[in-house]
């Protein structure tokens, strides 16, 4: 049920068992540094999303470079993060159901924990559980700012919910979550800027409404890797939830980037083996639907001009070779996943590579933490 570890420290890339999830450590560390530099001197905190990497080790490396804590989406992820020593976690999501709420409250006795709400019944349940356990849960009221998923309507409905939170034992109203997920993947700079700007306005208005009604709103949390320059430009968010910047993926590569962006680079790859060369122009690798996420399209073949990944099946990936391109029997290739988060969730191990050697092997501790 746990994958055998595909690599040992000191091995060469050729010795790594495939498919394996590789991290280019130079690029990964540069990404961490670029984010720290982008936020240096600004009045905004970084709370990167750990749903991307599911690793307390990476979370602590982010905190060592200035992040105030991390977010995650599931209580199971929060458990893995707290167990790995992360002291401050926002579950940037609704936690519904007695079992999950009990686990959340247990965590709040061990670390600084906060959660999002968009429903009065949920607030009542969270309060009852936290109060009974004698712990305090931080709470952000999640408002709908344009993505059409969760979140109470901004303005008056958000105020009603915020008041309920403020009056509920065991809960501490910390502010708002105003996350616009779909804006991360709007391709053009101008449209992305506009969507992020509208979301920021909505958030600012609701925060002002809270304050004019005597409710403090110290935190406005949201944002992502795709919207980072515009989130900074708008200047409304007090906490940035960007997560994908540590790795990037083929989908982020399709976004236009505005001038002055931090210049994050791809650091996450799949190492795959050419396992069949059935006819000229076609090769087959050992990485298919169970080795990569395809919701944002197929992976891109890394630095092999003329080679494209054209067809996944469950355990195979068919490659098309054009022009002079060729691949050898048993050769290893690098694939850049279409979407980093759900690809990471298929693996139990990161294999950290530097200068062609395995330097670190670390677990995807919250792999499979779906609940």
Q: Which of residues 67-126 bind its own copies (CB under 8 A)?
A: 73-74, 76, 93-97, 99-100, 118-119, 121-122
Q: Is 151 in the site for its own copies (CB under 8 A)?
A: yes
Which residue, among 171, 221, 184, has the nearest Cα to 69 in the 3D structure?
221
Strand partners, 336: 300
Q: How many residues bind its own copies (CB under 8 A)?
A: 73
Query: Is-contact 286 315, C-beta < 8 A?
Result: yes
Q: Is 290 in the site for its own copies (CB under 8 A)?
A: yes
Shortest Å, Cβ 53 to its own copies = 13
Instruction: Kindly tell me which residue out of 287, 307, 351, 353 binds its own copies, with binding defined by CB under 8 A.
Output: 287
29 vs 119 by CB, closer to its own copies = 119
Query: Is-contact 104 113, C-beta < 8 A?
Result: yes
Stated as kind and residue range, the H or E segment containing 336 is strand 332-336
Residues 42-71 interacting with its own copies (rule: CB under 8 A): 51
CB proximity list for 1: less than 8 A, separation 6 or greater: none
Main-chain dihedrals φ then ψ at residue 116, nearest 5 degrees: -100, 150
Stretch that binds its own copies, among 26-34, 170-178, 232-240, 338-346 (CB under 8 A): 338-346
- Strands (E) located in 218-267: 219-222, 239-240
Shortest Å, Cβ 204 to its own copies = 21
Distance CA 266, CA 344 (A): 14
Residues 205-244 interacting with its own copies (rule: CB under 8 A): none
Query: What is the x/- site pattern for its own copies, positions 246-285, by CB under 8 A?
Result: ---------------------------xxxxxxx--x-x-
Shortest Å, Cβ 341 to its own copies = 5
Which residue, among 364, 362, 349, has the nearest Cα to 77 in the 3D structure?
364
Q: Is 181 in the site for its own copies (CB under 8 A)?
A: yes
3 vs 326 by CB, closer to its own copies = 3
Distance CA 344, CA 87 (A): 23
């Amino acid at each position: 049920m746990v994958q055998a570890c595909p690599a040992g420290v000191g091995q060469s890339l050729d010795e790594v068992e495939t498919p394996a999830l590789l991290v280019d450590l130079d690029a990964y560390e540069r990404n961490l540094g670029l984010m720290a530099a982008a936020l240096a001197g600004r009045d905004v905190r970084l709370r990167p999303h750990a749903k991307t990497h599911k690793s307390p080790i990476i979370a602590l490396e982010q905190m060592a470079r200035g992040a105030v804590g991390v977010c995650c989406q599931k209580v199971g992820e929060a458990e893995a993060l707290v167990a790995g020593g992360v002291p401050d976690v926002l579950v940037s999501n609704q936690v519904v159901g007695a079992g999950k709420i009990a686990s959340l409250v247990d965590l709040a006795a061990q670390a600084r924990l906060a959660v999002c709400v968009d429903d009065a019944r949920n607030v009542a349940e969270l309060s009852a559980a936290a109060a009974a356990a004698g712990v305090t849960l931080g709470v952000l009221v999640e408002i709908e700012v344009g993505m059409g998923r969760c979140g109470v309507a901004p303005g008056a409905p958000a105020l009603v919910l915020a008041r309920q939170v403020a009056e509920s034992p065991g809960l501490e109203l910390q502010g708002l979550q105003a996350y616009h997920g779909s804006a991360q993947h709007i391709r053009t700079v101008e449209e992305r800027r506009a969507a992020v700007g509208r979301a920021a306005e909505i958030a600012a208005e609701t925060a002002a409404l809270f304050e004019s009604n005597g409710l403090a709103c110290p935190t406005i949390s949201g944002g992502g890797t795709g919207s980072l320059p515009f989130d900074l430009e708008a200047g409304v968010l007090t906490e940035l939830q960007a997560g994908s910047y540590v790795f990037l993926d083929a989908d982020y590569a399709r976004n236009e980037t505005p001038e002055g962006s931090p210049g994050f680079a791809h650091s996450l790859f799949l190492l795959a083996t050419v396992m069949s060369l059935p006819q000229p122009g076609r090769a087959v690798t050992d990485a298919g639907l169970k080795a990569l996420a395809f919701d944002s399209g197929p992976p891109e073949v890394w630095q092999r001009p003329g080679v494209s990944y054209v067809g996944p099946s469950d355990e195979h990936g068919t490659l098309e070779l054009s022009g002079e391109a060729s691949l050898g029997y048993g050769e290893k290739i690098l694939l850049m996943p279409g979407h980093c988060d759900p690809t990471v969730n298929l693996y139990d191990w990161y294999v950290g590579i530097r200068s062609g050697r395995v330097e670190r092997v670390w677990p995807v501790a919250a792999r499979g933490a779906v609940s």
